[in-house]
Copies of this chain bind each other. A is one copy, B any other.
Amino acid sequence: MPIELYSDEYFMQEALKEAQKAFDADEVPVGAVIVAENRIIARAHNLTERLNDVTAHAEMQAITSAANAIGGKYLNECSIYISLEPCVMCAGALAWSQIGKVVYGAADSKRGFSIINHTVLHAKTKVIGGVLASESEQILKAFFAKKR
């Protein structure tokens, strides 16, 4: 079945393209895009190795980039699409940004924010998990298989 234009799956495919860029650069393959009014205003992928910086997760860069794009630091009207469930750091950053919607692909049972029994995200943020999850898992598995 074709993916509908501007659906969650549509934007998740764009996040997966970013994850592929990370994969190609030998980075843990996680990608993110931020969308406002159906327009992608920020794209980023994990760069922790290249930047030698544990804070350089896809989401962190996307938040900074989106704030630049809209000229304001709050992202209430935006949605973020991330190929992997955000970690606690990224969820904390998303909370500060007051982002409207968080959509992620694969769950992260070890490092994902949802393992914490406390609302880390902003109370008004809508969360949807599991969008194109198998595609996201596939690229992560391929990466870690290559590393072994």
Residues of A115-148 at the interface with B, using a CB-CB cut-off of 8 Å, are 115-118, 120
Contact A91 B88 (CB under 8 A): yes
Taking residues whose C-beta sits less than 8 angstroms from the other chain, chain A's interface range is 20 to 34
Please give the count of copies of this chain that the complex contains.
2
A118's closest neighbor in chain B, by CB? Answer: B116
Q: Is the CB of A67 within 8 A of B53?
A: yes
> Please, how many angstroms separate the alpha-carbon atoms of A23 and B72 in the complex?
21
Alpha-carbon separation in the docked complex, A68 to B64 (Å): 20
Q: Which residues of B contact A90 (CB under 8 A)?
A: 89, 92
Contacts of A97 in B (CB 8 A): 54
By the criterion CB–CB under 8 Å, are A55 and B117 in contact?
no
Q: Is the CB of B118 within 8 A of A55?
A: no
Question: What 1/0 mask marks residues of chain A from 75 to 111 whose CB sits below 8 Å from any chain B CB?
Answer: 0000000000001111111011100000000000000
A63 CB-CB contact with B under 8 Å: yes
Q: Smallest Cβ distance from A16 to chain B, in angstroms?
A: 23
**What residue in chain B is nearest A70 (Cβ atoms)?**
B52
Chain B residues, CB < 8 A from A88: 88-89, 91-92, 95, 120
A residues whose Cβ falls under 8 Å from a Cβ of B: 48, 52-55, 60, 63-64, 67-68, 71-74, 87-93, 95-97, 115-118, 120
